[in-house]
Amino acid sequence: MDIDFEKNTDKLVPAIIQDAVTRKVLMLGYMNQDAWEKTQESGKVTFFSRSKNRLWTKGEESGNFLDFIEGSVDCDSDTLLLQVKPKGPTCHKGTDTCWGDSNEADYGFLSDLENIIDQRREADSDSSYVASLFKKGINKIAQKVGEEAVETVIEAKDNDTELFLNEAADLLFHYLILLKAKGHSLKEVVELLNGRHQER
């Protein structure tokens, strides 16, 4: 990886630290050539501390190390993106990230949809389809997932892309409802799949 440490007079490049699993940005630090080499050799993210004027391994005092997974450099070769596995909170203030965010996986709109399902399950069952399904119980919800799965398979055998995608969306929506009805979340399923992947 070609990193241009000579571009700036201080020979430092920004290093963006990202959780390899949740993809949340945890912090920003600076590295020189020595810090980058030590990070690779030790497997612990090491910065050049401008305030201490020396190499500084994140967690050397707190024990909240950042285990180095992999790194990449941007198009101008002057900014690093490091994938890490954090050992505890990243920020010195005790928060998961230096922006005060929780380091939880976010699956974009699917996470929003899970939250919407949670909210609507408590709504009036006469005005909310989701609430009406929860009111009918787990058997009805499971049956609905089965029906949507069959309809998705049927449309997969045809050539109507719009119908197939609509049925696939219906299946995914009802699957998320089933997960919630069983007291689980998409995060748990993703973690299970990721664990299986790591074993291979």
Tokens standing for residue 6: 């000579």
Is pLDDT above 80 for 148? yes
- How far is residue 180's CA from residue 115's CA, in Å, rounded to a whole number? 10
Residue 26: how many other CB atoms lie within 10 Å: 26
The closest alpha carbon to 58, from 103, 14, 20, 67, belongs to 67
At 1, the pLDDT band (50, 70, 90 cuts) reads: confident
Write the pLDDT tens digit of every residue in 90-116. 999 999 999 999 998 889 999 999 999
Give, for 127, the enclosing helix (H) or strand (E).
Answer: none
What is the pLDDT at residue 198? 77
The closest alpha carbon to 12, from 42, 40, 46, 47, belongs to 47
